[in-house]
Structure 1
Amino acid sequence: MKEYFGHVPAEVFEKASKIKLLVTDVDGVLTDGGVIYDDHKTEFKRFQVKDGQIVQFLKAHDIRIGVITGRNSLVVKNRCEELGFDFHFHGVKEKSLVFLSQLKAMGLTLDQCAYIGDDIIDLPILKNVGFSACPKDAMSYVKDKVDFVSEFNGGDGVFREVADILLESQGKLESVIGHLISQKLQNP
């Protein structure tokens, strides 16, 4: 499977192999960072379905998933609930405090955690976790501080790429794919 990850340095796989928790920002990572409001102040966001598709496989392989976002959005809350994230916190200004609290509650260390962020508010966590990543269109000073810069822009599959790297580094991606392609379909 590594042939699909030729752009990923070996040290990234080494760091990713220890991860038990993947936490992500939302705006600029799970979405393109844009917010659309209609005349009734209803908020709309676009999420990449491929990002959501991998969540069940992460969880099935004992990698927990969380969201910590600076905005308070019902749309995001609904998406997190729909996907079954282990935790999600919204309207957080001091992300590192919430992050450290969750680590303690889960009995995990910083080295066992990955974080995906794209902007200045994410830097304290990005600089301290075991594996850090950002979208291709993240702020340049964020890209300079992370272990891995995705080939994708925010909202276009960053979360999926990082999740696939985690599964591959832990020898689990091939079994996920193998299980799915070995399923036999029955004629109705």
Structure 2
Amino acid sequence: MIYPKEFTEMLLQDIPENIINSISKIKLMIFDVDGVFTDGSMLYTKHGEHVKKFNALDGKGVQLLINKGIEVAIISGRENDAVLYRMIELGIKFIYQNVIAKLDTVISLSNILNISINNIGFMGDDIIDMDVMNKVSFSASVPNAPKYVQSIANWVSKSNGGNGAVRECCDLILAVKQNYLIHY
């Protein structure tokens, strides 16, 4: 997919060059789920089942990344069958749930895929994500994350988690990749 030049210029106009350089190297993008793919709400049925709501635009963004050869993974601190179903539906092969030590999982996945930590991006929204955000080449967050999480992110989406934040991040990565290929 080739984005129109105006689109890439719009997305990249306020992004510092060092962040663009980090994004251009991404081979693996990892996302948290609760608060990033979802709005973080905890909805339960009367039988105690935990229900999740996902944004279709976010899903399409992930599929666009995968179609461009960028590996995608999710690492969630919680476990939910709906998450597993949705991520498989999107074509995500690397799905890790109920993970507290997310950095250990990122390092393990880095070794499995033979992808340097310098070629990994991560989007998270809470304290459990901060170790990873401090280690990877590109870290992203959402505006509804605590301020201390946003403060360590290289980039914060305009949309809240569950409301297009993942798509914004995917579009940014794809715009950088397209722009990088055109100019280098």
TM-score over 0.5 (shorter chain): yes
Would you say the 8 A contact 1:33–1:154 is kept in 2? yes
Structure 2 unaligned segments of length 5 or more: list them: 1-6
Q: Distance in 2 between matches of 1:86 and 1:172?
A: 27
Structure 1 unaligned segments of length 5 or more: list them: 176-188
Aligned partner of 2:173 in structure 1 is 166
Aligned partner of 2:125 in structure 1 is 118
- The percentage of counterpart residues that share the same residue type is 34
CA-based RMSD:
1.8
Would you say the 8 A contact 2:8–2:179 is kept in 1? no
State the secondary structure of the residue aligned to 2:153. coil
Aligned partner of 2:8 in structure 1 is 2
Q: Distance in 1 between matches of 2:154 and 2:171?
A: 15
For the pair 1:77 / 2:84, whether they are aligned, the reply is yes
Q: Deviations over 1:140-179 (max 9, x none)?
A: 1111111001111111111111111111111179x9xxxx
Q: Deviations over 1:18-49 (max 9, x none)?
A: 10000010000000001100111122111111
Aligned partner of 1:50 in structure 2 is 57
State the secondary structure of the residue aligned to 1:71. coil
Normalising by structure 2, what TM-score? 0.90
Aligned partner of 1:148 in structure 2 is 155
Answer 1 or 2: which has greater helix percent.
2
Which of 132, 135, 144 lines up with 2:142 in the alignment?
Answer: 135
Shift of 1:55: 2.2
Q: Bigger CA drift: 155-164 or 3-12?
A: 3-12
Q: Distance in 2 between matches of 1:126 and 1:32?
A: 20
Normalising by structure 1, what TM-score? 0.88
Q: Distance in 2 between matches of 1:56 and 1:154?
A: 18
State the secondary structure of the residue aligned to 1:127. helix
Q: Bigger CA drift: 51-60 or 160-169?
A: 51-60
